[in-house]
Amino acid sequence: MKNTFVPTKWTLVFLLFAAMLTLMGGAAVAPALPLISEVFSDAPEFLISMIITLPSLAVACTGYVIGVACDKFGRRPVLLASLAIFAVAGSAGFYLDSLWAILLSRVILGVGIAGLTTATTALITEYYTGASRVKVLGYQSAAMGFGILLLETCGGTLAEISWREPFLIYLVAFVIMIGVIFAVKEPEREPRRSLRDNSVKLNMKALLPIYISIFIGMVIAFLMPTKLPYLIAQVGSVSLTGTGLLLGLMGCCSALAGIFYGRIAARMLRMQVMFLCFLAVGIGCCMLGFATSVAAIALAVVFTGFGQGALIPTIVNWISDEAPVRAMGKATGIFSMALNLGQFASSLAVIPILVMVGSYSNLFLAAGVFGMLVACAYAVAWRRERRAVTQVAR
C-alpha cells in the first residue's frame, strides 16, 4: 500500500531552521576576523579571510556530487548527514590551535553546507507546488536572513569573550537534526524502472543564465561579511557586538524581503524582480563607498539586505520551473555550487581590485557600480518580458 507523506507545519519549521544555516554558515565567525588576525599575526589577511571563504570553495567543488547523491540516496539522508558535518566541523575552531587545521575543518564544513543547501531546496520544491511553493521559498529566504541576523549577532557577542567562542554557534545544528529526524520524511517519488531513467538531463541552455545570476549576486553580496568589518573599523569605533549587529541588520532586511516575497512575485514579472534586486544591492554598495558614519553604513546595509532577500527565492523558483523533478537534486546542487563559487570568487577578486582602488570604500563603490550594470541588463530583459506578456494577452 502506497504511503504518501504530507508535510506538516513542523516539517516546514525544521526545513527552515536547516535553511537558516546555509547562506552565512561559513561567515558566522566573521566578526572575530580582526581578533583572529591578531592571534595569527604572521599570517596574511588573505589567509585569515579563507576561514570565511574556504567553505564556499568546498561547496563549489562538491555541490554537483552532493546533488547526485540527493537524487540517488534521497534528500533526507543527505540532510541529516550534512547537519552532523556542519556541527562537528563548524565547531572545530573552538579547540584547534593550528591555523592550517582550522582551515581544513572549514573545507569539511563546506561539504556540510553543500548538503544543507541542496537537500533543503530540493525538499521544498518537491513538497510544495504553485503559489504555495512561491510562498515557502520566500520563507526559506527569510530563514536565511534570520540566520544571518542570529549567527552574525551571536558571533559578534561571543567574540567579545575571545576569538574561539563564535565557533560554538555551529553546534545548533545538532538541535535541528533532532527535529529533522522526527518531522521530515523522504518525499514520494516514481519508482526507477531502469538505469536510463536515472539520468534525467538538465536543460543547461535555460539554466545557465540563472546560475550566472546567482554567481554574480554572491560575488557582490559576500563583500559584506568579509570586508564590511574592516570598513566599519575605518569609519568609527564600533564594538565587535556592534559589527555583528550591523551584519545582522542585513539578515533582518533579507528576512523581511523573504516574508513578503510571495506578494512581490504575484505582482511583478520575474525580470522586474531581478532588476530591483541588483539595483538595491548596487545602491547599497555605492552608499557604503561614500559612508562616513555608522548610521550611513546601517542604511546601506538595509538596501543590500532587501536586494539579497528577494534574489534567492526568485532564482530558486526560476530553477524549479526549468528543472524536472527527478533531477531537482542535480539542479539545486549546481545552484549551490554557483552560489558558493560566487562567494569564493568574491574573496579572490577583492585582492587585485583593492590594490587598484586603494581603500575599502572604493572597493564597495566599484562593487556597487557593477551591480547597477547588471541591473541595467535585467531592465532590458524586463522590457522584453513585458512585451511578450502583452502580446500573449492580446
In-domain check, residue 195: no
pLDDT number for residue 195: 39
- What b/e string do you get for 10-41 counting C-beta neighbours within 10 Å, with b at 16 or more? ebbbbbbbbbbbbbbbbbbbbbbbbbbbeebe
In-domain check, residue 338: yes
C-alpha cell at 161: 569573550
Alpha-carbon gap, residue 190 to 210, rounded angstroms: 27
DSSP 191: P
Q: Find the CATH number of the domain harbouring 24.
A: 1.20.1250.20
> Helix, strand, or coil here: 324?
coil
- What's the full length of the chain, in residues? 394
In-domain check, residue 194: no
Alpha-carbon gap, residue 88 to 171, rounded angstroms: 7
| Half-sphere exposure for 380 (CA within 13 Å, toward CB) | 5
C-alpha 314: how far from its chain's center?
13
Scan for cell 513578503, then name that residue.
260
Average pLDDT value for the chain: 85
In-domain check, residue 62: yes
Residue 182 banded pLDDT, cuts 50, 70, 90:
very high
Residue 102 banded pLDDT, cuts 50, 70, 90:
very high
In-domain check, residue 3: no
In-domain check, residue 192: no
In-domain check, residue 235: yes
pLDDT number for residue 273: 93
Integer-rounded Cα Rg, in Å, for the chain is 20
C-alpha cell at 378: 535585467
Q: Each residue of 313-356: pLDDT tens digit?
A: 899 889 988 888 778 888 888 888 888 788 778 877 887 888 89
pLDDT number for residue 81: 95
Mean pLDDT, residues 99-104: 93
Q: Each residue of 217-255: pLDDT tens digit?
A: 988 988 887 788 778 877 766 776 777 778 778 878 888
Name which of 169-178, 198-207, 219-228, 268-277 the model is least confident about: 198-207
Work out how many domains the chain is built from and give that number.
Answer: 1
Q: What are phi and psi of 193, to 5 degrees?
A: -85, -30
Query: Containing domain of residue 136, as a range?
Result: 9-186+202-393
In-domain check, residue 284: yes
Alpha-carbon gap, residue 52 to 190, rounded angstroms: 40
Alpha-carbon gap, residue 191 to 198, rounded angstroms: 10
C-alpha cell at 391: 502580446
